Amino acid sequence: MMTLEFALDTFGDVTFGPDGKLKPQDQVIRDVIEQAVLADAVGVDFIGLGEHHRDDFAISAPETVLAAIAAKTTRIRIGTAVTVLSSDDPIRVFQRFSTLNALSGGRAEVILGRGSFTESFPLFGLDLSDYETLFNEKLDLFTRLLRAPKVTWSGTTRPPLRNQPVYPTLATPLKCWIGVGGTPESVMRAVHYDLPMMLAIIGGAASRFRPFVDLYQQAYAQTGNPPQPVGVHSPGHVAETDEKAREELWPHYKALHDRIGRERGWPPTTRAHFDREADHGSLYVGAPETVANRIAATVKALGLSRFEMKYSSGPLPHEHLMRSVELYGTEVIPRVRTLLDGR
């Protein structure tokens, strides 16, 4: 049985300040560093920063923020959630993370994904019609960089490489995951490249994703290799009581989801939907005991090696985020470990 890891994720959501106004993005980034330092202090195993290119999320260059976190922490593993590989250069991504791995003493990780937001494609001059090809070819090149000091590769998205070294080299291995939103093709891609799978579960019961875990394990059985770890990324918020946690989170959760919904043609989020997600779905919100029970149930249902809670949600203020991080580390994690002792 693999050791269970507990993680926190943030997109650097732009939050309200004490004056009731949205904070400038530079302050939000500094707040994220403070949150990560606290996570390190309270025993969280990993913190992941999501890459976005929008005005409501402050982090567009997560590796730079992670380097600052590395300098102020000693134990916590650091990485992305996710890096949008499709719209980046895999060689530059490798170089940034091999540098981060050196700065952090081998604590860096990367979760690669295609991204559920597409702003980076026009920003960097890429055609969305190439969405699949870009990710597949760039992932193929990136995984080769992980496994050999020199790479030979050819494809349609860049000129070929012939026995090309890329620096800095990795002194310690760089852990790399694939983010999976819920398609069999994504699961099989993770198996093909022998990579851990991070399931993004942002709606509905986690048990709905059991078939993807089964497919992952069955496909690995056919390869003859032991399966890699499986993790889950889901939103949540912890406060002293269930009522307080829900009341703190609800207006900011609604603001975030309604904005995204307007962009994608979704109906407005209702309180009834929010409560259903909190009761039985993908939202881990409540007092430490409540959140711990929900996480433990998900870990058992899916056989997880890591649970990642996205603790930021829209303009939820920094002080609430700090308290949520503290409670997650000091109360939720020990409770889950007790609940799963001997699983």
Residue environment code for 58-89, b if the CB has 16+ CB neighbours within 10 A, otherwise e? bbbebbebbbbbbeebeebbbbbbbbbbbbbb
> Position 303: which residue type?
G
CATH code of the domain covering residue 327: 3.20.20.30
pTM (whole model) above 0.85: yes
Range of the domain at 135: 5-339
- SS percent in the chain: helix, strand, coil, step 5: 50, 20, 35
pLDDT at position 2, please? 67
Alpha-carbon dihedral angle through residues 111, 115, 119, 124, given to the nearest 10 degrees: 60
> What secondary structure, in 3-state letters, does 125-156 show?
CCCHHHHHHHHHHHHHHHHHHHHCCEEEECCC
- Taking only the tens of pLDDT, the chain with its 343 residues reads 568 999 999 999 999 999 999 999 999 999 999 999 999 999 999 999 999 999 999 999 999 999 999 999 999 999 999 999 999 999 999 999 999 999 999 999 999 999 889 999 999 999 999 999 999 999 999 999 999 999 999 999 999 999 999 999 999 999 999 999 989 999 999 999 999 999 999 999 999 999 999 999 999 999 999 999 999 999 999 999 999 999 999 999 999 999 999 999 999 999 999 999 999 999 999 999 999 999 999 999 999 999 999 999 999 999 999 999 999 999 999 999 999 996 5
> Could you tell me which of 67, 6, 5 has the C-alpha nearest to residue 32?
67
For position 182, what pLDDT does the model report? 83
Strands 150-153 and 175-180: unpaired
At residue 24, the pLDDT reads 98
28-35's contacts with Cβ under 8 Å and 24+ in sequence apart are 28/58, 29/58, 29/59, 29/65, 31/318, 31/321, 32/58, 32/59, 32/65, 33/65, 33/68, 33/69, 33/72, 34/318, 34/322, 35/8, 35/10, 35/311, 35/318, 35/321, 35/322, 35/325
> Looking at residue 11, what is its pLDDT?
98
Torsion angle, alpha carbons of 156, 157, 159, 162, to 10: -80
Q: What's the pLDDT score for residue 116?
A: 84
Q: Please tell me the total count of domains within the chain.
A: 1
Q: Please tell me the predicted confidence (pLDDT) of residue 265.
A: 96
